[in-house]
Amino acid sequence: MEKRTYSSALSEKIGQKVRVLGRLYAVRQMGGISFWVLQDRDGLTQIVFDQKPPEIKAGSIVGLWGSVKEEKRAPGGVEIQGAKVELINAVLEDYPFDLTKKELKLNINTLLDHRPLSLRHETQRDLFRIYASLLEGYRQAMRAERFTEIKTPKVLGAASEGGANFFSVNYFGRRAFLAQSPQFYKQIAVGVYERVFEVGTVFRAEKHFTSRHVNEYVSLDGEMAFIENEQEIMDLLENVLRQMFKFVFQEQKTVLQKNNIGPVLFPKGNFPKVALAELKKIIKEKYQYTVPSDTDIDPGGEKLAGRYAQEVFESDFIFLTKYPVKFRPFYHYADGGQTRSFDLLFRGIEIATGSQRIHQYEQLVASMEKFGLDPADFSFYLEAFRYAMPPHGGWGMGSERLLYKLFNLDSVKEAVLFPRDVKRLEP
């Protein structure tokens, strides 16, 4: 069988006959000339017929043979003429919406209810190409910093962080929990490899039905040993993000330009760092907004923190530091009433939380008890600390929120291939 040519290689085949395969994306008629648009993994190809082509519905899978001609007005600057058509698999009915529009403009429920079809739209395909590059960029940046990639279990015998926001499942007659984070396991692993990272799924049983939340997401975690303080963690995370976005904008330059995605704003110096209490004062004085007293920072405060970072520091990123103990997990290292921890905001939304961890056994057990936890429930975790752990710390970062803000989407659910929220288990 004749070798297949992808759309991205057609410009190298001008004047030659080729075989192309893909999905019939659009059918158009202009006067006596018929135009098809074929979609393959690399993009779109215009097909021109000077005679009436067979009647095939858009969405069908087809093969075509024809000659490649230069046509600057066509996608990729080329088109295929004189095509012979093979119908490989026909659609059974028309699409429920028009996939040929430049923008789908569907409400979120329609978009997600018909996810198997909406993903075929060019913008949707591009979105998750960029997402794949973000994940690869993270892996490359972490490896460059000599981190070892690990994979941790997602079905656990105890809740990941001792909190309440967990999903419980029946595990062969025993109660088990879906991982809220890889926290315990990456800390154990850092005592072995010193620097570890994971790209893995986590689950949060939070009943938030907002544009900012999903209940299953992919977390970009990192943990590093032999640190002196949380500043080292923030500096490394900043470098990782710079390298991630550099990779994405180089690898996906054409796709980003096609979707009008502009550059990420990085400051000339380091990412700005502002203590949480100080940030609250700033946004109250500068923007006349008061963060509710019963929270660390709310969505309105995060949005204004992002605005402040852009206006004052010319940065899409800002670290908020020195969180009170009451707002942090038991394993965060504390100095008095404050923790050596941080949140990182990107364009006005939290994307990462990190800290220096407690590395001394007695101190960790005391912190557990202070939080009302029974150390006996965490014996496997504490075993690593009984036999000495190095000073260490790390972060967890929500990958989908990076994509959400990069594309300025209406909801983070749009940045998840098949999202799960409090109301959605399908598709």
CATH number at residue 34: 2.40.50.140
Is 255 assigned to a binding site?
Answer: no
Task: Say whether pLDDT at 195 is over 90.
Answer: yes
Kindly state whether residue 425 falls inside one of the protein's structural domains: no
State the average pLDDT over residues 241-245.
Answer: 99
Q: Is residue 196 part of a domain?
A: no
Task: Identify whether residues 244 and 125 lie together within a single domain.
Answer: yes
pLDDT in tens, 43-85: 999 999 988 899 999 999 999 999 999 999 998 899 999 779 9
In this structure, the answer to whether residues 245 and 121 fall within a common structural domain is: yes
Same domain membership, residue 148 and residue 78 = no
Q: Is 420 known to sit in a ligand binding site?
A: no
Q: Is 208 annotated as a binding residue?
A: no
Whether residue 400 is annotated as binding a ligand: the answer is yes
CB of 76 closer than 8 Å to CB of 37: no
135 & 74 share domain: no
* Nearest-angstrom CA–CA distance, 181 and 189: 14
Give the pLDDT confidence score for residue 259 in this predicted structure.
95
Binned at pLDDT 50, 70 and 90, residue 286 comes out as very high
401 is in an annotated binding site: yes
The burial of 216, by beta-carbon neighbours within 10 Å (0-12 exposed, 13-18 middle, 19 or more buried), is given as middle
- Residue 413 DSSP label: G
Judge whether 41 is annotated as a binding position: no
Residue 256 within any structural domain of the chain: yes
The answer to whether residue 350 sits within a structural domain is yes
Q: Does the annotation place 212 within a ligand binding site? A: yes
Q: Is residue 55 part of a domain?
A: yes
Whether residue 214 is annotated as binding a ligand: the answer is yes
- Consult the annotation and say whether 205 binds a ligand: yes
Residue 173: inside a domain? no
CA distance 251 to 129: 10
Mean predicted confidence (pLDDT) in 247-254: 97
The domain tally of the chain equals: 2
Residue 158, in any domain of the structure = no
* Residue 347 is assigned to a ligand binding site: no
Q: Judge if 121 and 252 occupy the same domain.
A: yes
Domain, as residue range, for 70: 7-89
Round the average pLDDT of the chain to a whole number and report it. 95
Is 204 annotated among the ligand-binding residues?
yes
Confirm whether residue 242 is marked as ligand binding: no
Which strands form 216-225's sheet, in the order they lie side by side?
Answer: 148-149, 195-203, 216-225, 392-398, 349-356, 341-346, 317-321, 273-275
Q: Is the pTM of this model over 0.85?
A: yes
